Amino acid sequence: MSDERWLNAEQQQAWRAFLATSALLHAALDRQLQREAGIPHAYYMVLAMLSESPGRALRMSQLAEATNSSQSRISHAVARLEEAGWVRREQCPHDRRGLVAVLTDAGLAVLAEAAPGHVRAVREHLFDQLSPEQVRQLEAICRAALRQLDPANTFPAVQATAVR
């Protein structure tokens, strides 16, 4: 027998509930955005992160970090958003090797149109099920986990403000 610390029964139940909730919530939000706005949740997050950045622009590497995406995945997403006219890529002014993704006015309009439905879905599937105390507990639980997962507090989405 190894010295591993296995999850006890209560932890195992909490872990499985967390996994199921995360997967089902993400799928529900993706379906809502596809149905109402014609975009996947991942593209919505790209638009949202750009909208909350100074000048509505981020280096591609920062955008990948902000959306918890790989470089190749963010490049593909930005290429698709660029085809739609919602994002454009520019040379980084400080580093000619880098690229910056910039949210266009058309992209901001798409985001503004999609945001109310997205927020409604987040409320319906998560926050309407929780008491104010549970919302505070959820934030505390997530921040406790983030302290270990992101000790430098570099994950920008945690500090983001909502588009209204």
| Pure H helices in 38-152 | 41-51, 60-66, 71-83, 105-125, 132-149
Q: Is 20 among the domain residues?
A: no
Q: Is 114 among the domain residues?
A: yes
In whole angstroms, give the CA distance from residue 36 to residue 38.
6
Helix (H, G, I), strand (E, B) or coil at 91: strand
Residue range of the domain that includes 67: 28-154
Q: Write down the pTM of the prediction.
A: 0.86
Looking up residue 43, the CATH number of its domain turns out to be 1.10.10.10
> What is residue 162's predicted lDDT score, i.e. its pLDDT?
41
> What is residue 159's predicted lDDT score, i.e. its pLDDT?
57
Q: Is 160 among the domain residues?
A: no
> What is residue 116's predicted lDDT score, i.e. its pLDDT?
97
Closest of 32, 76, 15 to residue 67, by C-alpha: 76
Domains: count for the chain = 1
Report residue 140: phi and psi, to 5°.
-60, -40
Q: Is 126 among the domain residues?
A: yes
> What is residue 150's predicted lDDT score, i.e. its pLDDT?
84
**Predicted confidence pLDDT, tens digits, the chain (164 residues):** 577 899 999 999 999 999 999 999 999 999 999 999 999 999 999 999 999 999 999 999 999 988 988 999 999 999 999 999 999 999 988 777 789 999 999 999 999 999 999 999 999 999 999 999 999 999 999 999 988 988 877 765 555 444 43
In whole angstroms, give the CA distance from residue 103 to residue 106.
8
- Per-residue pLDDT of 103-136, as tens digits, reads 999 999 999 999 999 999 999 999 999 999 999 9
Q: Is 18 among the domain residues?
A: no
Q: Is 13 among the domain residues?
A: no
Q: Is 159 among the domain residues?
A: no
**94 sits in which H/E element:** none
> What is residue 33's predicted lDDT score, i.e. its pLDDT?
97
Hey, how many other C-beta atoms are within 10 angstroms of the C-beta on 34? 14
> What is residue 98's predicted lDDT score, i.e. its pLDDT?
86
Q: Is 16 among the domain residues?
A: no
- Structure-token match 């872990």, residue found: 15
